[in-house]
Amino acid sequence: MIFKIDLINEKSFEIIKNQTILQASLEAGILHYHACGGKARCSTCRIVVQEGEENLSPPNKAELKLRNQKKFPGNVRLACQTRVTANGVKIQRIIKDEADLDLYVYGKSSENIQTVGDEKSMALFFLDIRDFTPFIEKHLPFDVIHIVRRLNILFNEVITQHKGKIIEFSGDGVYAVFGFDEPVDEAVNNAYKAGRQILSSLHKLNDNYIAKYFDYKIDVGMGLHAGRVIVGKTGVKENNPYTVMGLPVNVASRLESSTKELNNNFIVSEYVYEMLADKNDLTEQKQINLKGASEPFLVRLMGKPFAKLG
């Protein structure tokens, strides 16, 4: 029996029943890396399955051993151990040239196979320190950096405690994502709880430290949205930060920006609000205009008006 495989952006080729994908691709003239000779002792032949995963043989003992060592995501398979059982399979080679080989096998990205991009429903959380410029202008550089460090430690501890990961610190802002290991409704609730705790902890930090020693009070604006995004590790920085991209990320960032014009320090989308386990039906609903959107976007004001800072 003969099946057909689609090697995305390269070519389609035929594969005989009980033949491995590696064997078939090599016979089709594809330069498919296989440093160990196709014996599941390396991962250079690995592929990403984009469609038809149900039409592949299950991982055998040799593949499972390597998968556990390398922590493969679910849609990554070894071509040397995988066979096709029906049509409709679409795959991509991960390693196509020497640069890919260096990136995924010999370079720092080789430490974690999950550099491969995936699509996932996640909660996107943006935070910005409000009106921080007056503090910068009134205090010494050491004091400014010291307070930013104190704040970032607070944000990181709370976000991590609620199963989130900080994607980016940007001076006076934070971008974090929730939902790497849990369904989106749980991720949304974790992110919302993190936002509430940040507000509570910041209030205490203001009263007990910042106002006491610097005669100033810090406030933040936060935006929370959720949706399907592309996620992976780029390996650009030494700590291999995750990259999370997509329209929902832009929406969450816009919600955070809207906290100032709506005078509320925590804004969530209506989509997020509907998933919250702890919500108040009396929470004020507003409409905002998003760039490129033809209709107003519904949001909920979950925080409080900004205090007069400084």
- CA proximity to 92, closest of 70, 54, 118: 118
Same domain membership, residue 167 and residue 295: yes
| CATH number, domain with residue 76 | 3.10.20.30
Same domain membership, residue 129 and residue 102: no
Q: HSE of 238 in the Cβ direction (CA atoms, 13 Å)?
A: 0
Over 60: is that where the pLDDT of 240 sits?
no
Q: pTM for the full model?
A: 0.73
Six token digits for residue 217: 């009070």
Same domain membership, residue 109 and residue 129: no
Tally the domains of the chain: 2
Q: Which helix (H) or strand (E) holds 209?
A: none
Six token digits for residue 102: 């260096």
Domain boundary among 60, 88, 113: 113
- CA proximity to 75, closest of 117, 17, 25: 117
Over 90: is that where the pLDDT of 233 sits?
no
Over 60: is that where the pLDDT of 284 sits?
yes
Give the model's pLDDT for residue 96.
85
| Residue 243 confidence class, pLDDT cut points 50, 70, 90 | confident
The residue ranking higher by pLDDT, 295 or 277, is: 277
Phi-psi region of 31 (alpha: psi -120 to 50; beta: other; left: phi over 0): beta
- In sequence order, the 6+-apart residues with CB closer than 8 A to the CB of 221 are 127, 128, 130, 256, 257, 259, 260, 265, 266, 267, 306
Over 70: is that where the pLDDT of 286 sits?
yes
| Residue 90 confidence class, pLDDT cut points 50, 70, 90 | very high
* Most confident by average pLDDT, 33-47, 79-93, 133-147: 79-93
Over 70: is that where the pLDDT of 291 sits?
yes
| CATH number, domain with residue 286 | 3.30.70.1230
Domain boundary among 88, 113, 138: 113
Same domain membership, residue 56 and residue 87: yes
Tens-place pLDDT, residues 102-155: 767 665 544 444 456 678 999 999 999 998 999 999 998 989 999 999 999 999
Domain annotation covers residue 310: no
Q: HSE of 110 in the Cβ direction (CA atoms, 13 Å)?
A: 14
Nearest-angstrom CA–CA distance, 104 and 76: 13
Domain span holding position 184: 118-301
Give the model's pLDDT for residue 116.
60
Give the model's pLDDT for residue 107.
58
- CB distance 72 to 94 below 8 Å: no
Six token digits for residue 160: 């991590």
Average pLDDT over residues 32-37: 91
Domain boundary among 50, 84, 113: 113
- CB distance 46 to 75 below 8 Å: no
- In sequence order, the 6+-apart residues with CB closer than 8 A to the CB of 224 are 123, 124, 125, 126, 188, 191, 192, 195, 252, 255, 266, 267, 268, 269, 272
